[in-house]
Amino acid sequence: MRYLPHTADDIATMLKAVQIDSLEGLFAHIPQDCRRRETLKIPEALTEWELNDHMDALAATMAVSPEYKVFMGAGSYAHYVPAAASFLAGRSEFVTAYTPYQPEVSQGTLQAIYEYQTLTARLLGLEVANASQYDGASALAEAMLMAIRVSRKKTVAVSSAVHPMYRRVLATYFEPTGFNIRELPYLPDGTTDLGPLKDMDDLGGVAIQSPNFFGCMENLEAAKQSLPDKKTLLVICFSEPLAYGLYKSPGQCGADIACGEGQSLGIPRTFGGPGLGMFAAKMKYVRNMPGRLVGQTVDEEGKRGHVLTLATREQHIRREKATSNICTNHSLCALAAVMYMASLGGSGFKELARLNYDKAEYLKEALRKAGFKLPFSRPTFNEFVVEFPDDFRKTYQGLLQKKIIAGLPLVDFYPELKNHYLLCATETTARADMDALVKEIIP
């Protein structure tokens, strides 16, 4: 079926109105050498059941099929999703591309976003949260630009223990701006060295990740105290928000902005996407926040209602006044996250966080007893770094043949960490599988 709404008569009428003889004339301003003359080589269309068979065949060729035992997180985590959350998020009234500009016809969508903002603010310990960003990396980049706007300074500092991909996205955002990025090294215990901050001038924001890329929990209170200027904003990012069911929230530790990846809150890993950029801040900075914000109000009859509010996007105001060119949010992913959080509840969230901590500690202790070195001494959540012998790469490849992924090699991101691997265990990791992994890698 072709989705062309105009008939031949419709097209002829429109061409006559613009005084062009044919559709080809619409492209006359494009040079001939820039135009495609031959048709695209697209395969013939498949029937629905042929397409299903084709997609099943493609899925069977994927490297990580369900029978693999995966001990890798690094920003994307496997968690059980309550069946109720998946069912509700899949209802037709939510699975829609409709943009809620007209509050009178989109109260359900607006209320769902408002509930997401409420639970996000509570989880992160801050006063206001937006309707979400694209992912954790874009959320961090937007947070640092916001710190620049608020502080009116031109330099930011970012911990080298922040997710490497987040730092690359931040560098891309900042490259054309003229603003500067300074990197803070990490200490032997796996946390950020805050010492260099005292020698940095014109510092608008400092970004620390906790749990950081090594799985280590940072001393966030110390980070707040180390800021060289009262105008410098502390940005705490994360890739595993479940940790805040066990550890203090960013807001409790003095964060001005908290941002990161919300994939682990009810969103399947799906081979890398989609994600959910979570973003919260202190209320006094609300007019500098990027993206959408849904507010609560009352109608003429005094009934509760929800609307898009504080529109600081380029669609609504002059471009040079806009806080961001982010014009949308990951609404369905945010919906999945709020349903996940509501399904667990406060006590369930804490219990699950504790279970995740215990699972990772069990695997960590088993590897320590097996004689492997754990280079970082700080408390961790979900994942941790292990140093293996020089010949472990061969063992690693052998484990892949047995459908076991024994963590992420860190040398590609941190050349000084040769033979270091980042391993992860969540509530989905069976004790028998952890025991089997340890036995497989014992020399």
Banded pLDDT at 122 (limits 50, 70, 90): very high
pLDDT at 229 (0 to 100): 86
Token pair for residue 255?
A: 């964060």
Share of the chain above pLDDT 70, in %: 95
Q: In this structure, how many other beta carbons lie within 10 angstroms of the beta carbon of residue 99?
A: 14
**Beta pairing class for 277-281 and 128-129:** antiparallel
* 386 DSSP β-pair partners: 421
Of 39-53, 87-101, 402-416, least confident by mean pLDDT is: 87-101
Hey, which of 109-113, 212-216, 291-295, 389-393 has the most confident mean pLDDT?
Answer: 212-216
Report the distance separating Cα 102 and Cα 308, nearest Å: 9
Q: In this structure, how many other beta carbons lie within 10 angstroms of the beta carbon of residue 51?
A: 11
The more confidently predicted of residues 102 and 330 is: 330
Query: For residue range 155-164, what is the model confidence (pLDDT) as tens digits?
Result: 999 999 999 9
Q: In this structure, how many other beta carbons lie within 10 angstroms of the beta carbon of residue 52?
A: 11
**Beta pairing class for 257-261 and 233-238:** parallel
Judged against a pLDDT cut of 80, whether residue 313 lies above it is answered with no
pLDDT at 1 (0 to 100): 42
Place of tokens 């900075």: 285
Mean pLDDT of 398-423: 95
Mean pLDDT of 399-419: 95
Spell out the domains of the chain, with CATH numbers in brackets: 69-79+345-441 (3.90.1150.10), 83-341 (3.40.640.10)
Across all residues in the chain, what is the average pLDDT?
91
pLDDT at 73 (0 to 100): 94
Of 229-233, 277-281, 338-342, 357-361, least confident by mean pLDDT is: 229-233
Report the distance separating Cα 265 and Cα 179, nearest Å: 33
